[in-house]
Amino acid sequence: MTNQQSQPTQNAVEQSREPDLAIDAENVTVTYDDGTEAVRGVSLRVENGEFFGFLGSNGAGKTTTIKSLVTLLDPTHGSVRINGYDAATDPQMVRRSIGYMPQETSIDRELTPRENLRLACTLYGVPAEQRTDRIEALLDLVDLQDVADTRAETFSGGMKKRLDAATALVHRPPVVFLDEPTTGLDPEARLRLWDYFDRINEQGTTVFLTTQYLKEADRLCDRLSLLHDGQVVETGSPAALKSEFGADVFEITLANPVEKQIERGVGAIRRIDALGNPTIQTTDDGIIVRSQRVRTAASELFAALDDVGVSVRDFDVRSPTLDDVFLSLLDDSSGDGNRTETDRASLATQEMST
């Protein structure tokens, strides 16, 4: 009988203990030497085969958390188990059983895709007799077969990202971590990567994705956690989060959006009992009202504005998005209005670039 544990180059998938959870993190806390708490008590339970999203604005703690999960950073407190392996006592086995794609591409631009993948096979200990077939399969998967022998230095950002993701999969890890993989890409390149990540997940790989893009999380993830100031605010499927925390959005454009008219309109809206406890936001052009009752109370809203002499030029009613959910949860969790507005601006900027 072959002693596989004495062969460190064995395929990570073959060494996996087939645990119940792909990722099991409990109360992970990271405090830097200067006292900054980058991550505060984060707990995550990700099932095998799940596409899990980790969503938050810039500085929320996403990258610090993922580095703790992939053993690049020791948490100050808490425990992490990946594929059944304890990150504190068995970090080498954790690394062998995962793929990791950091924010910055790690490919060798002087090499071709085929050469990059062959190098990755060597580093991950893929058996020599399996390398050629595996490389060809990955080149097909990421649509780089036609440029397989062209130096990567000539590639677009999206092509480099796809090659980088392929190198993280040469050893067929059961879990792959993607740290903001589409940041900085144009919309077309981003969509192609989305399709690629979907295909990885369909093949049974657990995907852990950190992202600032709300549409990306909504499109790809089975479940996601919303992170704010280093803490998980809420976890659930995109549909469940929108159903539980989202509210219909009523966007009102005023005929004369001067400050006094806007203030008068806000006051009138706050007095409408049928709206329940709405969230009201002012804009340069008018008012945005978020409420689960806004559709049924629309006629009362128009009447209330008319009664105080506020004329409406245009309006729009739409269903909630993850953006609305995230902002609603920020309003609930943060008593600092300025901080919430900073996060609103950060998320809005990211969404405009999608």
Residues 212 and 310 in one domain: no
**262 and 308 share one domain:** yes
Same domain? For 178 and 198 the reply is: yes
Do 168 and 219 have their domain in common?
Answer: yes
**pLDDT tens digits, 164-219:** 999 999 999 999 999 999 888 888 888 888 988 998 899 999 999 998 888 889 99
Please tell me the pTM assigned to this model: 0.77
Q: Are residues 184 and 73 in the same domain?
A: yes
pLDDT digits (tens, 9 = 90+) for 63-108: 999 999 999 999 999 999 999 999 999 999 999 999 999 988 889 9
Whether residue 113 sits in one domain with residue 31: yes
Residues whose CB is less than 8 angstroms from the CB of residue 127 and which lie 6 or more positions away in sequence, other chains included: 9, 11
- Do 315 and 269 touch, CB atoms closer than 8 A? no
The number of folded domains in the chain is 2
Are 81 and 230 within one domain?
Answer: yes
Q: What is the mean pLDDT of residues 107-126?
A: 95
Instruction: Give the residues across from 21 on adjacent strands.
Output: 47
Return the pLDDT at 342: 42
Q: pLDDT per residue over 251-284, tens digit each? A: 999 999 999 999 999 999 999 999 998 989 999 9
- Residues 120, 157 within the same domain: yes
The CATH number linked to 323 is: 3.30.70.260
**Which stretches does DSSP call E strand in the chain?**
21-31, 37-47, 51-55, 77-82, 85-86, 98-101, 175-179, 206-211, 223-228, 231-236, 248-254, 279-282, 286-291, 312-318
- Residue type (1 letter), 182: T
Single out the residue in 203, 237, 271 at which a domain terminates. Answer: 237
Question: Which range is least confidently modeled, 59-68, 134-143, 252-261, 334-343?
Answer: 334-343
- Per-residue pLDDT reduced to its tens digit, 206-260: 999 998 888 889 999 999 999 999 999 999 999 999 888 878 899 999 999 999 9
**Is 157 found in the same domain as 172?**
yes
Banded model confidence at residue 320, pLDDT cuts 50, 70, 90: confident
Phi, psi of 123, deg, nearest 5: -65, -35
Residues 105, 182, single domain; the answer is yes
Residues 225 and 298 in one domain: no
Domain residue limits at 195: 4-237
Domain with residue 110: its CATH number is 3.40.50.300
Distance of CA 234 to the CA centre of its chain: 13
User: Do 26 and 51 reside in the same domain of the chain?
Assistant: yes
Q: Which of 198, 214, 237 is the last residue of a domain?
A: 237
